[in-house]
Amino acid sequence: MTELRHFAVTPDYAAQRLDQFLAGNLPELTRSQVKRLIDQGAVTLSGRPVKAGHKLRGDERLLVTLDQPAEVSTEAQDIPLRILFEDSALVVVDKPAGMVVHPAPGHHSGTLVNALLHHCTDLSGVGGELRPGIVHRLDKGTSGVMVATKTDQAHNLLARQFKAHTIERRYRALVHGQVKNDEGSIDRPIGRHPVQRQKMSSQSRSGRQAVTHWKVLRRYDRERLTLLDLTLETGRTHQIRVHFSEMNLPLVGDPLYGNPRHAKSIGDNETRRLIEGLNRQFLHAWLLGFAHPDGRQLAFCSPLAKDLQAVIDHLEALYGTDSQDLAISATLVEEII
Residues 127 and 220 in one domain: no
Same domain, 284 and 188: yes
Tell me the C-alpha distance between 169 and 291, whole Å.
13
Give the number of residues written for the chain: 337
Q: What is the pLDDT of residue 337?
A: 34
Strand-pair category, 283-291 with 168-176:
antiparallel
Specify if 155 maps to a domain. yes
119 and 213 part of one domain: no
Question: Apex CA 280: angle with CA 184 and CA 273, to 5°?
Answer: 100
For residues 110 and 193, state if they share a domain. no
**In a domain? residue 77:** no
Strands 143-149 and 90-95: antiparallel
Indicate which CATH number applies to the domain containing 59.
3.10.290.10
Do residues 282 and 318 share a domain?
A: yes
**93-129 burial: b if 16+ Cβ within 10 Å, else e:** bbbebebbbbbeeeeeeebbbbbbbebbeebbbbbee
Please state, in angstroms and rounded to a whole number, the distance separating the CA atoms of residues 318 and 226. Answer: 14
| Contact between 148 and 133 (Cβ < 8 Å) | yes
Q: Are strands 191-192 and 200-201 parallel, antiparallel or unpaired?
A: antiparallel
Question: What confidence score (pLDDT) does residue 128 get?
Answer: 59
Same domain? 54 vs 104: no
CA-CA distance, 184 to 172, in Å (whole number)?
15
Phi-psi region of 295 (alpha: psi -120 to 50; beta: other; left: phi over 0): left
Q: Which of 132, 159, 186 is the last residue of a domain?
A: 159
* Domain final position from 159, 185, 216: 159
Identify whether residues 129 and 189 lie together within a single domain. no
pLDDT of residue 193: 85
Tell me, what's the pLDDT at 129?
Answer: 56
- Give CA separation, 234 vs 20, 151, 202, 212, 331, in Å: 23, 24, 14, 7, 25
Q: Is residue 226, in this structure, part of any structural domain at all?
A: yes
Residue 87 lies in a domain: yes
Is 313 exposed, middle or buried (CB count within 10 Å of its CB: 0-12, 13-18, 19+)?
A: middle
What's the pLDDT score for residue 68?
59
Structural domain contains residue 72: no
Asked if residue 12 is part of any domain, the answer here is yes
CATH code of the domain in which 186 resides? 3.30.2350.10
Q: Which of 139, 152, 313, 322 is catalytic?
A: 139
Asked if 252 and 181 sit in the same domain, the reply is: yes
Report the half-sphere exposure of 217 (CA within 13 A, side-chain side): 20
> Is the alpha carbon torsion for 300, 303, 307, 309 positive or negative?
positive
Task: Tell me the sheet residues that pair with 170.
Answer: 231, 287
- CB-based contacts of 48, cutoff 8 Å, min separation 6: none
pTM confidence score: 0.77
Instruction: Give yes or no: residues 230 and 310 share one domain.
Output: yes
* Domain membership flag for residue 15: yes
Please name which of 312, 333, 330 lies closest in space to residue 217, comparing C-alpha atoms: 312
Predicted confidence at residue 107, as pLDDT, reads 67
pLDDT of res. 69: 55
Q: Is 67 a catalytic residue?
A: no
Q: Given 108, 140, 159, which residue is the final one in a domain?
A: 159
* Residues 205 and 167 sit within 8 Å (Cβ to Cβ): no
Quick one: residue 74, left, alpha or beta (phi over 0 = left, psi -120 to 50 = alpha)?
beta
What range does the domain containing 109 cover? 83-159
**Total number of domains in the chain:** 3
Are both 256 and 320 inside the same structural domain? Answer: yes
Q: For residue 233, what pLDDT is reported?
A: 93
Residue 265 in domain? yes
Specify the amino acid at residue 10. Answer: T
R_g (Cα) of the chain, nearest Å:
23
Look up residue 327 and give its amino acid: A
One domain for residues 121 and 193: no
172, 226: one domain: yes
What residue ranges of the chain have pLDDT lower than 50? 71-72, 332, 335-337
